Amino acid sequence: MANVDVTLIASGASVKEPWLWQLCRDFSLQVNIKKASIDTDYGWMQVELTGPVEEIQRATAWLMTTGLHVEAEQRAVGA
C-alpha cells in the first residue's frame, strides 16, 4: 500500500465537475481530504490517496486528463 499527497487545482468550469466523486467511484483507493478551499470559479484541494501503487498511478493519470492542475506533494510507501 502507498500513500500519496496530491494537490488538485481547478478553475473555470472544471470547479463544478464531480471529479472527486468519480475518483472515489472509479478507482480502488481511499481518498482523504486534508485541506480545501472551493469557490464558484476557483478551487484547490489537498487529498491523500491510499492504495496500491498501480491504482494511484492510474488515478493520477486520469486526474490529469480532467483539466485539473495536479501536483504530487509527497509519497510514502508503507508495508
Residue 50 to residue 13: CA distance in whole angstroms? 28
Closest CA to 43 of 60, 79, 68, 77: 68
Number of domains observed in the structure of the chain: 1
Domain, as residue range, for 68: 2-77
- HSE, CB side, 13 Å, CA atoms: give it for residue 25: 5
User: Full-prediction pTM beyond 0.75?
Assistant: yes
pLDDT digits (tens, 9 = 90+) for 8-57: 999 988 888 998 899 999 999 999 999 999 999 999 999 999 999 999 99
Q: What is the CATH number of the domain that holds 27?
A: 3.30.70.260
